[in-house]
Amino acid sequence: MSVVIQKINRAKPEVVNELGACGVATVHEAQERKGLMAPYMSPIYAGARVGASAVTVLVPPGDNWMIHVAVEQVTPGDILVVATTSPSDAGYFGELLACSLQARGCRGLVIDAGVRDVRELTEMGFPVWSKVVHAQGTVKKTLGSVNVPVVCADALVQPGDVIVADDDGVCVVSSEDAGNILQKAQARIASEDEKRRRLAAGELGLDMYEMRERLEQCGLKYV
Amino acid sequence: MSVVIQKINRAKPEVVNELGACGVATVHEAQERKGLMAPYMSPIYAGARVGASAVTVLVPPGDNWMIHVAVEQVTPGDILVVATTSPSDAGYFGELLACSLQARGCRGLVIDAGVRDVRELTEMGFPVWSKVVHAQGTVKKTLGSVNVPVVCADALVQPGDVIVADDDGVCVVSSEDAGNILQKAQARIASEDEKRRRLAAGELGLDMYEMRERLEQCGLKYV
Amino acid sequence: MSVVIQKINRAKPEVVNELGACGVATVHEAQERKGLMAPYMSPIYAGARVGASAVTVLVPPGDNWMIHVAVEQVTPGDILVVATTSPSDAGYFGELLACSLQARGCRGLVIDAGVRDVRELTEMGFPVWSKVVHAQGTVKKTLGSVNVPVVCADALVQPGDVIVADDDGVCVVSSEDAGNILQKAQARIASEDEKRRRLAAGELGLDMYEMRERLEQCGLKYV
Amino acid sequence: MSVVIQKINRAKPEVVNELGACGVATVHEAQERKGLMAPYMSPIYAGARVGASAVTVLVPPGDNWMIHVAVEQVTPGDILVVATTSPSDAGYFGELLACSLQARGCRGLVIDAGVRDVRELTEMGFPVWSKVVHAQGTVKKTLGSVNVPVVCADALVQPGDVIVADDDGVCVVSSEDAGNILQKAQARIASEDEKRRRLAAGELGLDMYEMRERLEQCGLKYV
Amino acid sequence: MSVVIQKINRAKPEVVNELGACGVATVHEAQERKGLMAPYMSPIYAGARVGASAVTVLVPPGDNWMIHVAVEQVTPGDILVVATTSPSDAGYFGELLACSLQARGCRGLVIDAGVRDVRELTEMGFPVWSKVVHAQGTVKKTLGSVNVPVVCADALVQPGDVIVADDDGVCVVSSEDAGNILQKAQARIASEDEKRRRLAAGELGLDMYEMRERLEQCGLKYV
Amino acid sequence: MSVVIQKINRAKPEVVNELGACGVATVHEAQERKGLMAPYMSPIYAGARVGASAVTVLVPPGDNWMIHVAVEQVTPGDILVVATTSPSDAGYFGELLACSLQARGCRGLVIDAGVRDVRELTEMGFPVWSKVVHAQGTVKKTLGSVNVPVVCADALVQPGDVIVADDDGVCVVSSEDAGNILQKAQARIASEDEKRRRLAAGELGLDMYEMRERLEQCGLKYV
């Protein structure tokens, strides 16, 4: 059955934004190494970093009709997360859809398939994380669903979940846990600032983390 | 048998140039989604966009001798399209060959194999679309052919065909159809300008493309 | 047995530096096409080129403890070369380790596994050549070794070997042969300067390399 | 948090068995093409076909400790479904674990990672669907969970779901829907028997499925 | 435009059959190493070897409608060669289609995409060479063409070409050249019989092929 | 420089044979998880298991001349281990070479490249572990070396090393350590016999390995 679920639970905007500022690696660690998408998900240009709420789209292979349907469900601060019902490398998404999404305040696209118009998307500053760049067009013949749970690049995404994406990839945080994970992520950052200062001053991690004794117990030999 | 075919039929220069300006995604759509090379063909640097006439080269695995032969067949506005008789990841092409080709007015290289000297090629502004970056050298021992039909990255290329290449990949247009395809591509661009304006103003594709009724007929439910 | 070998034989600093300046493709040719790592080893940002002495690290899958141990063995002008005892895509390395290494004069990282914090590493100017970008964290539970011979991305690396890395990939030169290989590489560069000048002036490689007669003997036909 | 959920909801044994007999392609179609694992999941030997209830295991990369924990949760008619918290190709599973599982009535293993002892598993008739065959050993140091929802090879698996696996791959059916899907699958099989008879007698699908008129309307030309 | 070309030029049946008996490696060598499909094309079961005339089918991604159209064009001794207009891993083909093709004397299928019902196809003795085994279903919504030239797994196939396929892969021979290539292939086989006898008796290839002098001239040293 | 080293140090024949009987997974564990080749190395047919002494061959991409040279260096009980100087998928090896090797008592082939004549090799019972099956032919133009150290599928192989290969892959044991590793492997097998008996009788690994307390200490919860 093909459905569009119109009401989803998003995390608070400031939590979403601040999770985005923490970055993928930190957020992934803060939630005990869960929720990371597969490493084949790459940004089409370097330097983008976003936090946003997921509007999920489940599409058939080679058919982008439902993305048009999903645009209407986007509110400012959202990101589209597109998964396919079976693997596809087709280019589901290009400049015109980005133009429409950007007009609605959408922060980007995460798609477990192909994207095209990379040059135009880069000029627009519309970030995309995708499996592949592929100009191959799609059709508009078969329905899918909007705002149902999807498996995207090995990660389960519920509509409204927080998506954090940057040059390191894409991480998913459940909307209920978002506040809690943000606290942990910010605590990590605070503790890393101090460590960074000490390491930059030449202190060794071996000493700072007090690893020497345990290494010796494990049997490490210096020769 | 190894041959060099010296006379090939190119499309008119202004048609070639304007097809290049249309870009890969548009040209691919304009010719009914044919002629696209496999998505593993990537540019070595972002932002290049060319239209050019194909001088084709068929080379043995790990042997770049015929590329030297092909250089002589290049005229201004051409692009070299290199296919292998069996798959190879070797680095067939580097700065010196690019220097020679650039001196002859060549606009770039499309190679279903490896390339090297990426830094120098980037500085020269000589665009390359390749399967892989690989410094691995090649030999000069076995013949191939120049300006025969080749299968390059899943696409059939006849000598003289128009090659359109940009950040989205590489597309082939037959030299006879080039004028016709250009008209269709330019018509697409004209129609997209109007759509882009409306979408940017907030109109939904659902309305602009009149999709709502057909979606309902197909059984889409809003909940 | 897990060991840290504290004394290794490096090549002379000026030889290491000048090999780096020659670049991967030239050095690879100069040593008769040996020592090249697999082409999946990519730089995290374009434009870096280094020559450095290898401090090798052998790590278990998904465990980066030994990288912390290896930092202490680094002296200015070194590069860390990390191989795994079995294949892993985990993100072994990020900004804090880079901060510590940079404080010790380390010139970069070559890792046959994953890296994270790509944005921060790029901002720091700390170059990394890796198999994949992956935020996936690692543990610190199992020992490995430092400064033992390792197989990294298909290449054998002895501690102290010279690593040359740039946009084309990574090449290994044995520390004993480094002086000899440098001479050959510089001779290549000298001879290429002259060739480049002639090719840029429009001379054909077919003539400059005197290939026409041999091509005809091999049976090449012009039609 | 690491948990072992001891009570899960399985479908009725006869439903599980009969779904297995229907085979992957039929079940996948019967549930509207959902629930199929990625095609890289291959059987270690040809000819096995099972229906079984999933006991799910979530394991860290390169660590098979939780599989030992999961064995205790298996009852006759179950199958182990192992997913990793991040991608791994290690060989988590071999003959001794199979021996223990077989003693408990387990029907096989589905693992989104590596397996070893292929020869012995084949001789035992213990079927395995895996991403790779790899002798690489694992450690027993880090916890995971048993009978939590997992994403295995792109498919979401809830504990107790019905797993259907054969030479075509692996398909997941929710335990609540199992009876309903079985009816649809058996209806497909009944209708295919009649079609098979007519096609084998030489009737064309074009006629049997009444496709000719629609093909003509779509513009198909015979020349 | 979508067309079905009803008349194609096949090679003589006895030539087709005997080319099949020669096997892929021999035929590939006999025609100077052309026409080989990419090595990812694997048989679904070991031991099949066929020679047959190609009925080509060009299909959209994820849509197998045209295979139903193509069945009608098959005559005894043919093989279906299916290429996609853009890459797809979907399972286009299964038991019912095989049943229909077998009733028409079809010798097998070569498909640059996925296949399913592997167990049933194996039991029927209907050989398939495919890119992947995948149960993922397809739709019947978009036209393609039958008996047009196609690029299948990197090889150009004209309708009526001879397909030779066995455990080593798939090779294409142009229908016009088939008689000529058969002669060369049979001459190879005759010469190999004698070589096999001598090698099995312990004679070295170094002596039989008179390689020693040329190896020495090239600089080979025995130490 | 191209050399053939004629004298190599093999382990004792009975040690080689018995290591083969232990199998890859056991030997790999016995030597602390070193020496395993990459998992892409697959047997061309199921069920072979060998122990043999390595005669190593280093070959250029797409050139099998040195394999002919290597045949002469083979003595009964050896296996050929072929590595390439740069990656290649060509089919270096087929039936005639196997015929020659079998006449000299060679036990099989391990090749980090392609093989062909799979059907004939299977009938002859000549086992091959390779990266790919590919009919693509090679040339005989460029030298390599025999019995030099090689990196084959990520593993370092010294001439004379013991190769253990079966359905799980390929493992390398240094000839000096072979006796020692055999003892450890046989001790593993002895201890596994007892474990297998207990597990088959229904005892749980959790109890047999006394894991319950440590699991609880690590925080595992049963719910």
pLDDT tens-digit map of D40-51: 999 999 999 999
**Can you tell me which residue has the tokens 């390191």?**
A168
What tokens does B74 get? 């290049």
Phi, psi for D115 (deg, rounded to 5): -135, 155
CA-CA distance, B103 to C201, in Å (whole number)? 7
pLDDT at B1 over 80: no
pLDDT, tens digit (0-9, with 9 covering 90-100), for F73-127: 999 999 999 999 878 889 999 999 999 999 999 999 999 999 999 999 999 999 9
Q: Give start and end residues of each alpha helix (H) in F38-93.
A: 65-71
pLDDT at residue D193, as a whole number: 93
CA distance C216 to C222: 9
pLDDT band at F171 (very low <50, low <70, confident <90, very high): very high
* φ/ψ (deg, to 5) at E213: -65, -45
pTM of the full structure:
0.89
DSSP letter at F30 equals H
Of F61, F139, F141, the CB nearest to B90: F61
Give the DSSP H or E segment for D102: helix D95-103
Touching C (3+ Cβ pairs <8 A), the chains are A, B, D, F
SS3 E161: coil
Is E87's CB within 8 Å of A87's CB? no
Instruction: Scan residues 15-44 of D and list those with Cβ closer than 8 Å to E.
Output: 23-25, 28-29, 33, 36, 39, 42
Q: What residues contact residue D107 under an 8 Å CB cut-off, 6+ apart?
A: D50, D52, D77, D78, D79, D127
Q: What is the dihedral of CA C46, C50, C54, C59, to 10 degrees?
A: -10
How far is F111 from F89, CA to CA, in rounded Å? 10
Strand pairing category for C42-43 and C128-133: antiparallel
Q: Which residues does C67 contact at the CB level (< 8 Å), separation at least 6?
A: C57, C59, C80, C82, C92, C93, C97
- What are chain D's partners, defined as 3 or more CB pairs within 8 angstroms? A, C, E, F
* B102 part of contact set with chain C, CB < 8 Å: yes
CA angle C52, C54, C57 (to 5 degrees): 145
Tell me if E154 and B149 make a contact (CB, 8 A cut-off): no
Neighbours of A7 (CB within 10 A): 9
DSSP tag of E36: B
pLDDT at A1 over 80: no
Q: CA nearest B83: which of B159, B34, B153?
A: B153
3-state DSSP assignment of residue D218: helix
Q: Which chains touch B (3 or more CB pairs under 8 A)?
A: A, C, E, F
Q: Residues of B64-77 as b/e, b for ≥16 C-beta within 10 angstroms?
A: bbbbbbbbbbbeeb
- 3-class state of residue C191 by DSSP: helix
Contacts of C189 (CB under 8 A, 6+ apart): C22, C26
Per-residue pLDDT of chain C (223 residues; tens, 9 = 90+): 799 999 999 999 999 999 999 999 999 999 988 899 999 999 999 999 999 999 999 998 889 999 999 999 999 999 999 999 878 889 999 999 999 999 999 999 999 999 999 999 999 999 999 999 999 999 898 899 999 999 999 899 999 999 999 999 999 999 999 999 999 999 999 999 999 999 999 999 999 999 999 999 999 999 9
Are F34 and C85 an interchain contact pair (Cβ–Cβ within 8 Å)? yes
In this prediction, residues A131-152 reach a mean pLDDT of 94
Pairing of strands B3-4, C221-222: parallel
Measured between CB atoms, does B118 come within 8 Å of chain C?
yes
State the best of C84, C86, C214 to mutate against chain F, taking most chain F CBs within 10 Å. C86
Q: Do E215 and F99 touch (CB under 8 A)?
A: no
Tell me whether C4 touches chain A (CB under 8 Å). yes
Q: Mark out the alpha helices in chain F (DSSP H runs).
A: 13-22, 24-30, 65-71, 95-103, 118-124, 178-200, 205-208, 212-217
Helix (H) or strand (E) holding D22: helix D13-22
Where do the H-state alpha helices sit in C37-153? 65-71, 95-103, 118-124
Cβ A67 vs Cβ A81: under 8 Å: no
CA distances from residue B37 to A72, B154, C100 in whole angstroms, order as listed:
34, 6, 44
Is the separation of the CB atoms in B141 and B67 below 8 Å?
no
Q: How many other CB atoms are there within 10 angstroms of residue A58's CB atom?
A: 24
Q: DSSP state, D115?
A: E
| Predicted local distance difference test score (pLDDT) of residue E1 | 75
Place of tokens 């058939």: A60
Contacts of E154 in chain B (CB under 8 A): 87, 151, 154
Q: Which residue has the tokens 């054998």?
A: C156
Q: Tell me which H or E stretch contains C129.
A: strand C128-133
Using 50, 70 and 90 to split pLDDT, how confident is the model at B32?
confident
Strand B3-4 and strand B150-152: the pairing is: unpaired
**Radius of gyration in angstroms for the set of CA atoms belonging to chain F, rounded to a whole number:** 20
State how beta strands B150-152 and B155-157 pair: antiparallel
Q: In 3-state terms, what secondary structure has residue E38?
A: coil
Spell out the alpha helix ranges (H) of chain A: 13-22, 24-30, 65-71, 95-103, 118-124, 178-200, 205-208, 212-218
Amino acid B177 reads D
Q: How many residues does chain B have?
A: 223
Nearest CA in chain F to E38: F134
Nearest chain C residue to F33 by CA: give it.
C85
Q: What is the ipTM of this complex?
A: 0.94
> What mean pLDDT comes out for the span B92-98?
97
pLDDT (tens digit, 9 = 90+) per residue, A169-202? Answer: 999 999 999 999 999 999 999 999 999 999 999 9
- Quote the CA–CA distance of E132 and E126 in Å, as a whole number: 16
CA atoms of C104 and C77, how far apart (whole Å): 9
Residues of chain D with Cβ-Cβ distance to E143 below 8 Å are 215, 218-220
Looking at CA atoms only, how far is residue C151 from chain F in angstroms? Answer: 6
- On the question of pLDDT at D145 being above 80, the answer is yes
Q: Which residue of E59, E85, E88 to mutate against A (max A Cβ within 10 Å)?
A: E88
Strand, helix or coil at E29?
helix
pLDDT along chain E (223 residues), means of 10: 94 98 97 92 97 97 94 98 90 97 98 97 98 94 94 95 98 97 97 95 96 95 95
CB proximity F136 to B under 8 Å? yes
CA separation for the pair F20, F6 (Å, rounded): 24
Assess whether pLDDT exceeds 80 at residue A53.
yes
- D218 and E2 within 8 Å at the Cβ level: the answer is yes
**Nearest residue of D to residue C135 by CA position?**
D86
Of D89, D136, D141, nearest to C141 by CB-CB distance is D141
CA distance E111 to E54: 12
Instruction: Give me D7's structure tokens.
Output: 């009570």
What is the C-alpha to C-alpha distance for residues C10 and D11, in angstroms, rounded to an integer? 66
How many angstroms separate the CA of residue B138 from the nearest CA in chain F? 9
Please say whether the beta carbons of F162 and F110 come within 8 A: no
D47 C-beta neighbours (distance < 10 Å), count: 12
D70-92 pLDDT, tens digit each: 999 999 999 999 999 878 889 99
Instruction: Give residue D52's pLDDT.
Output: 98
- Amino acid E72: pLDDT: 97
End-to-end Cα, chain E, rounded Å: 67
Alpha helix positions (H), B139-203:
178-200
Cα separation of E16 and E185, whole Å? 12
The model's pLDDT over F190-206, given as tens digits with 9 standing for 90+, comes to 999 999 999 999 999 99
At residue F66, the 3 state secondary structure works out as helix
